[in-house]
Structure 1
Amino acid sequence: MPLHIQTPLIESRPMSLAAGRSIWLKLDALQPCGSFKLRGVGHACELHHARGARHFVSSSGGNAGLAVAFAGRSLGVPVTVVVPETTSERARQLLRLEDAKVIVHGGSWQEANQLAQTLVGANDAFIHPFDDPLLWTGHASLIDEVAAAGCKPDALILSVGGGGLLSGVVEGLKRNGWDDVPVLAVETTGAASFHAAVEAGHTVELPALSSIATSLGAKRVAEQALECARSHPVESHLVTDREALQACERFLADHRLLVEPACGAALALAYKAEVLGNYRKVLVVVCGGATATLEQIQLWLAAQ
C-alpha cells in the first residue's frame, strides 16, 4: 500500500453556481500530512528505503518537510528537516509532532537547502521538495485516480510553487491519454517564478519573494515545469495575495475545509467565471496546506 490515500473527488455546488459551470474538486488537502506532497514524497521515500536508505534529509519549512517526516515515521526511518528562519512556529511544531529533527538555518529556503545538502551521508537519502522525477511520478497518481473515476475535465486548475505538482499532473495527464486537457497554472504576484520563466522562455531567478503564500516561494521554478509548458497546453495565471486569502475564507464557508494561501491561489481562479472561458467542466486540485490557521489568514487579510 502507498503512504498516500486516495482522496475524494466531488462536484462543488457552491463553486459551480459561482462560476456558472461544473467545478470539480480533488481534495488532496485530506492527505494524512495535509497536502498533495505525500504522493510524490511517499513514492520517493519508499523507493529510497527499499534501496537501503536509513535516514531522510529534507529542506522545507512547510508541506514537503511534513510529508517527509510523515513518510519517515511510517517507514521507521529517522528524518532531519532543515527549515529557514521564516518558517512559522506552527510548522516547526508540526514537524516535531512527526518525530522529525528540525534544524533552523538561513533566511530563505535556498540557504536551508544548502545546509541540508551537507548533511547527507552515505546511507542517507535527500528528498527534494519539488525538483525530482520520483516526486513527479508520485504526484501523477492524482490524475490516475481522476481518470479511474471517469471524470475527464475540460481544464484543470492548480497552484504552482517550485513546479513539482505541475510536472506530476502533466505526467499523469499524458500517461492517461489526456494530452488535450489544458492546465491553468496559478501563482500569486509576489511569487511568480513560473510566470517569469514562461515570459522569458527560460527559467529565471526572482530577486525577491514578497507573497504571503510562502508555499509558492521558489525563486526559480524547476526546469521540468517550463518543459511542461512547452510540451502540453499550460496557461499561466496570476492572482493577488488578497484574492488568494479571500478564496481561502470563501472555501472554508463553502466546504468546511481550511487551506493555506498557496492553495487559495488556485481556488481564487476557480471562483472567477470571467477567466474560465468556454471550459464547462473544470477540475481544481485542492492541494491543501497543514500550516494554515484561520487567525493568520484573517490577520493577513486585515493587513492587505
Structure 2
Amino acid sequence: MANADIALPDTSHTASRDLPHGSLHIVTPLLRSTSYSARLGRPVWFKMEALQPPGSFKARGIGHACRTYKERGAKHLVCSSGGNAGIAVAYSGRLLGVPVTVVVPESTSAAARERIALEGAELVVHGRAWSEANDYALSLVKPDHAFVHPFDDPLLWEGHATMIDEVAAAGVKPGAVVLSVGGGGLLCGVLAGLHRNGWGDVPVIAAETVGAACYAASLAAGVPVDLPAVTSIATSLGARRPCDQAMAWSRRHPIVSQVVSDKAAVGASLRFLAEHRIVVEPACGAALAALEQAPAVAPPASDVLVIVCGGVGATVEQLQAWDRAS
C-alpha cells in the first residue's frame, strides 16, 4: 500500500493463528499514513481492521466468542446484526463447523446480506430496525444454541482488545485513539486493551454520526439513553442505546465524544479510498472524519491511532451516490 509506513508487531511469543487451534482473526497491519500525517501535522497511524477476512474488526471478538460457545457445547449460533456482526458470526461458524442463523433488519444493505448468505448462514430479515431484529433473534434461541450479541458481551471485548495488544507489540504508544461507536463493543474492547497494556492515560475520541449518536446523548445525560430512532445512513452505528459497560468506562477513562455529519463521514470514506485504496463504510468514516477535526485532547506532536474498523455495507458507487445526495 502506497502512502504509508508499516509497523510490525513481535508475534514470536504468540500461538499459531491457523485453524483449528488458533484464533479466527488475523494480525492486521499498523500503517503510518504519509498523507494524513502531513496534512494533520502529527503522526497518524491506522490499525487496518478492514482487512480482517469478514471485512471488519468484528472478526476478533465474535470469533473468540463463537469458539468459546462451541467449546461450551453450543450446537447452533444465533445472531442479530445490522450487517458486519452477522457476517463475522457466519464466517466464524463456517470455519468452526457450527450452523448459524443471522437475523438482520430491513435496513441491512444488499452487500451485507449477500456476504452472510455466501458464508453459508441462514439469513432472516425481520423488522425495520436492529432492535426488532434482535428481539426476534432472541426468540429463536433453543437450549443447545448460543446467542452471539453484536456488541454487548465480555467475550467480544476480550477479543477486540487484541488489536491494542498488536499495537503495543509494534512499539507504538499513541497519544490518542480515534474510533467509531455504535453499541460500544469496539470501544469496550479498545479500552480493555489499553488498560491491560498499561495505557490508561491514553484518551479515546468516540466518533458517531448525527442520527446515530446514542453514546453522545448518554454521556450528556450521565445514563444510557435510548434514541427514538436511528436516522443516519451509517446503519452499522444503528444501536439506539449503548451498552452499560460503555457508560461504565466513561467514569474511569478519558473519553471525548465527537459527532460528525453523514456528509462528513461519507467524504472521509471517499478521501480514505482515494489515498489508501480501501473501501470503508460511513460508520468507519465517522472516525476518519473525527480525525480530520484534529483531536485537541492529544498533544500536538503526539501519535494518533485510528481504528479503521472497516465494514462491507457500502460500495464505491454507494459512497459516491451518498456524497452527491448530501
| The two structures share one fold, judged by TM-score above 0.5 | yes
Map of 2:321 onto structure 1: 299
Map of 1:234 onto structure 2: 255
Deviating above 3 A after TM superposition, structure 1's stretches of 4 or more consecutive aligned residues are 273-277
Map of 1:137 onto structure 2: 158
Q: CA deviation at 1:277?
A: 5.5
Structure 1 counterpart of 2:66, one-letter code: C
> SS state of the match for residue 44, structure 2?
strand
Deviation by residue 1:28-67 (Cα, 9 ceiling, x = unmatched): 0000000000100000000001111110000013100000
Map of 2:179 onto structure 1: 158
**TM-score of the pair, normalised by structure 2:** 0.92
Q: CA deviation at 1:272?
A: 2.5
Alpha-carbon distance in structure 1 between the residues aligned to 2:26 and 2:118: 20
Structure 2 counterpart of 1:283, one-letter code: L
> SS state of the match for residue 126, structure 1?
strand
Contact 2:56 2:311 survives alignment (8 Å)? yes
Paired residues for 1:1-304 under 5 Å? 1-273=22-294, 275=296, 278-279=299-300, 280-304=302-326
Structure 2 counterpart of 1:170, one-letter code: L
> SS state of the match for residue 158, structure 1?
strand
Alpha-carbon distance in structure 1 between the residues aligned to 2:82 and 2:27: 25
Deviation by residue 1:89-112 (Cα, 9 ceiling, x = unmatched): 221111100001001111111111
Alpha-carbon distance in structure 2 between the residues aligned to 1:221 and 1:140: 18
Alpha-carbon distance in structure 2 between the residues aligned to 1:275 and 1:303: 31
Distance 1:159 1:274, change over 3 A: closer
Q: What is the aligned length? A: 304
> SS state of the match for residue 251, structure 2?
helix
Alpha-carbon distance in structure 2 between the residues aligned to 1:261 and 1:88: 13
Contact 1:4 1:39 survives alignment (8 Å)? yes
Contact 2:203 2:297 survives alignment (8 Å)? no
Contact 2:152 2:183 survives alignment (8 Å)? yes
Structure 2 counterpart of 1:44, one-letter code: A
Alpha-carbon distance in structure 1 between the residues aligned to 2:111 and 2:195: 37
Structure 1: gaps (5+ residues): none
Structure 2: gaps (5+ residues): 1-21
Distance 1:135 1:243, change over 3 A: same
Q: Alignment identity in percent? A: 59
Contact 2:175 2:298 survives alignment (8 Å)? no
CA RMSD of aligned residues (A): 1.0
Contact 1:53 1:123 survives alignment (8 Å)? yes
Alpha-carbon distance in structure 2 between the residues aligned to 1:166 and 1:274: 17
Contact 2:180 2:208 survives alignment (8 Å)? yes
Distance 1:288 1:95, change over 3 A: same
Structure 1 counterpart of 2:308, one-letter code: V
Alpha-carbon distance in structure 1 between the residues aligned to 2:234 and 2:89: 21
Question: 46-55 or 267-276: which moved more?
Answer: 267-276
> SS state of the match for residue 77, structure 2?
strand
Contact 1:15 1:270 survives alignment (8 Å)? no
Distance 1:288 1:242, change over 3 A: same
**TM-score of the pair, normalised by structure 1:** 0.98
Which has the larger share of helix?
Answer: 1
Alpha-carbon distance in structure 2 between the residues aligned to 1:297 and 1:144: 32
